[in-house]
Amino acid sequence: MPERVIFHIDVNSAFLSWEAVDRLRHGETVDLRLIPSAVGGDIESRHGVILAKSIPAKKYKVTTGEPVVDALKKCPNLVLVKPRHGLYQEMSAAFIRILNQYTDRIEQFSVDEAFMDMTGTGRLFGAPVEAANRIKDQIKKELGFTVNVGISSCKLLAKMASDFEKPDKVHTLFPEEMEKKMWPLPVGDLFFAGKAATKRLNEIGIRTIGDLANADRDMITRVLKKQGDVLWRYANGLDDSKVEPIRPDAKGYSNSTTISFDVTDAKTAKEILRDLTDHVCQRLRRDDVKVESVSVQFRFNNLTRASHQGALPTATNITQEIYAMVCKLFDEKWDGTPIRLLGVATTKVSKEDCGRQMKLFDDTDYEKLERLDKAMDSIRNRFGFNAVMRASAMGEEETERKK
């Protein structure tokens, strides 16, 4: 069998680049990518965090994930723009459509990243570096933004390669290149090496990725438990995970979203799951069907994935009822590993109304919930999905504004 050829495509400063491209198309003359600028937060109140920054902003030490107020202290002339997630989803979809011209073996890792299995495509698109440059240049020409492409024989090393010098670059990192290109890097640059793990490794004298690769595996595992073993493997370029496209479920209704940042708290994850559930349930009611089974799907930032399924007490299409099960499944399955994709899927679809099995101590007014869902569906069908929000979401936003 031929050696695998895996690409990791990473959009350079995705949200900022997409904002710049869209604004230039609509007549603006200043390119946000060429001035100190950033996407993020509530500009008026200066709350929230930086989601993306330009290269000029990086020179002021502005970092992704830091509070907007701190970024403005570092760079008072920082141009801030509000995030437009609808635009980013459109740009992401256009980006993936170009990748699909080269292979159907694509795994979208986040809204601005994807893995491609390019094994066996040499006759069509040339050698790996030639093909990568072709993809990179096509995206720049047709969509107006730049990407980095990392090339290797596994997903891990391809992702590491795409993080080398930016922007608009192609880099290789095959196993035989690790000693020269990867091992001299600080151990904190290794994929999945968080701040806490990096600090602990530094404390025991491990400063570079090469130090970790050549350390005793059992010792590293004793120090960092399961994560230590994963990091030791990654430092040695050991990764056999496949590029796994997510296929649509033809027997049910589902919705998923890739996320541009690591989700590390349950509150944020459940806000995302609530929106996904809301969309799925609206489609169920549109088609006048109910479901008896729900699952929550995860893809984590360590390249692994998981799902957890549960049976509903009775067939339903009520948002609140299905969302309660989604939250229960999430709490049972999530172990705290940072999340890059969340999905909600429903199965065992039926048009038959078999009635509801009432429970002795259940005083929920299901008819009222059904009327509420129908009223919200009617408003959203006329004025758009965001025209009306559920009270829980509004309450959370109001709480955030008061902080």
Examine the domain organization and report whether 201 and 283 are in the same domain. no
Q: How sure is the predictor about 385, in pLDDT bands with cuts at 50, 70 and 90?
A: low
Q: CA angle at residue 276 from 139 to 64, to 5 degrees?
A: 50
pLDDT over threshold 90, residue 261? no
Whether residue 167 has a cis bond before it, omega within 30° of 0:
yes
Q: How sure is the predictor about 228, in pLDDT bands with cuts at 50, 70 and 90?
A: very high
Element (H, E) at 149: strand 147-152
> What does the pLDDT look like over 322-342, one tens digit per residue?
999 999 999 999 999 999 889
Determine, yes or no, domain membership for 248. Answer: no
Examine the domain organization and report whether 21 and 94 are in the same domain. yes
pLDDT over threshold 80, residue 381? no
Determine, yes or no, domain membership for 167. Answer: yes
232 Cα distance to chain centroid:
25
Instruction: Name every residue whose Cβ is closer than 8 Å to that of residue 338 and which is 6 or more positions away in sequence.
Output: 262, 263, 264, 300, 301, 302
pLDDT at 387: 53
Assess contact for 52 and 13: CB atoms under 8 A: yes
Examine the domain organization and report whether 54 and 190 are in the same domain. no
pLDDT at 194: 87
What's the CATH number where 20 sits? Answer: 3.30.70.270
For 258, the token pair is 């890739």
Examine the domain organization and report whether 187 and 167 are in the same domain. no
Residue (of 399, 110, 133) closest to 256 by Cα position = 110
Instruction: Name every residue whose Cβ is closer than 8 Å to that of residue 148 and which is 6 or more positions away in sequence.
Output: 9, 10, 12, 136, 162, 163, 164, 166, 167, 168, 169, 170, 171
Across 25-39, 69-83, 372-386, least confident range:
372-386
What's the CATH number where 263 sits? Answer: 3.30.1490.100
Determine, yes or no, domain membership for 178. Answer: no
Assess contact for 111 and 258: CB atoms under 8 A: yes
Examine the domain organization and report whether 112 and 257 are in the same domain. no
Examine the domain organization and report whether 195 and 159 are in the same domain. no
Determine, yes or no, domain membership for 385. Answer: yes
Examine the domain organization and report whether 189 and 167 are in the same domain. no
> What does the pLDDT look like over 175-207, one tens digit per residue?
999 999 999 999 999 998 988 999 999 999 999
Q: What is the dihedral of CA 19, 24, 30, 32, to 10 degrees?
A: 20
Examine the domain organization and report whether 131 and 158 are in the same domain. yes
Integer Cα distance of 9 and 11 in angstroms: 7
What's the CATH number where 191 sits? Answer: 1.10.150.20
Bridge-partner residues for 298, per DSSP? Answer: 306, 342
pLDDT at 258: 80
Integer Cα distance of 272 and 263 in angstroms: 10
Classify strands 290-300 and 305-316 as parallel, antiparallel or unpaired: antiparallel
pTM greater than the 0.85 cutoff: no
Residue (of 244, 236, 124) closest to 191 by Cα position = 236
Examine the domain organization and report whether 343 and 396 are in the same domain. yes
Report the domain count for the chain: 3
197: domain range? Answer: 183-243
Element (H, E) at 151: strand 147-152
pLDDT at 394: 38
Integer Cα distance of 132 and 149 in angstroms: 6
Domain stops at, among 120, 149, 173:
173
Which residues does the annotation mark as catalytic? Answer: 113
Within 6-127, where are the H helices? 14-25, 55-58, 68-74, 85-99, 122-125
pLDDT at 352: 57
